[in-house]
Amino acid sequence: MSGGLAVLWPLLALRITTPRLELAIPDTDDLLHLAQASGDLQPEAQPRFQQAYLYEPSPQRERHLLQRHWRALAHWRPESWNLQLAIRLDGIAVGLQNMWAADFATARTIETGSWITRTRQGHGYGTEARAAVLELAFAHLGAVEAHTSYVDGNTASERVSRKLGYTGNGRHAYAEDGRRVVEHRMLLDAAAWAKHRMPGITVDGARECLELFGLQAKALDP
């Protein structure tokens, strides 16, 4: 079915592969695995590093995850999009990698976020998943900058960003659940990405999706 639908919605055929992972728009099996995996991201005593919905009780958390996926597809416009990709390890979805942008055709700037279930953390999968969408953004969509952020204490996220060449780009504080949270912003430009580009990543189906990203093929041709 997805092959037929991909003619109308080519994002369904988009595939990014790394040495160990495959990233793609989640299918029904992926969504089920993601809903299950979202319940075990970090120890309960640890400060909250992920988005608030991931700390909701079951089944609200799982339903919220499904709604966010469907909303991203339903609200997709070339001027404003949120690409949510299942991170598949040995064919099983173990996390979610996001890449989103507004007015990308002009700004050429993307932002990213991700999570991986706790049992799969600490093996470099988060680095590979981020490198995968950076390959799509810079090598296939002509991005100029990529932004991300992490909150105080989330050293794993900071390490991933610095390993891939990001540098500090300011910070701000906000209140959440009655506590002060400091968020650190990070920036990766095209030159820094090229120096830290991860080998062994392939992207299939990007050219067919250019219109959905607000781009024209001829504008990206050499």
User: Is residue 132 domain-resident?
Assistant: yes
* Most confident of the following: 44-58, 80-94, 170-184: 80-94
Say what the pLDDT of residue 28 is.
Answer: 96
Q: What is the pLDDT of residues 132-169, one digit of tens each?
A: 999 999 999 999 999 999 988 888 889 999 999 999 99
User: Is residue 8 domain-resident?
Assistant: no
User: Is residue 2 domain-resident?
Assistant: no
User: Is residue 3 domain-resident?
Assistant: no
pLDDT band at 1; cut points 50, 70, 90: very low
Residue 219 has pLDDT above 60, yes or no: no
Q: What is the CATH number of the domain that holds 93?
A: 3.40.630.30
What global pTM score does this model have?
0.93
User: Is residue 74 domain-resident?
Assistant: yes
User: Is residue 6 domain-resident?
Assistant: no
Residue 89 has pLDDT above 60, yes or no: yes
User: Is residue 171 domain-resident?
Assistant: yes
Strand spans (E) along the chain:
15-17, 21-24, 80-89, 92-102, 109-116, 145-151, 167-176, 179-189, 202-204
CA dihedral 138, 154, 159, 11 (to 10 degrees): -30
The SS3 call for residue 207 is: helix
Domain that holds residue 150: 15-220
Q: How many domains does the chain have?
A: 1
User: Is residue 131 domain-resident?
Assistant: yes
Q: What is the average pLDDT across 18-37?
A: 96
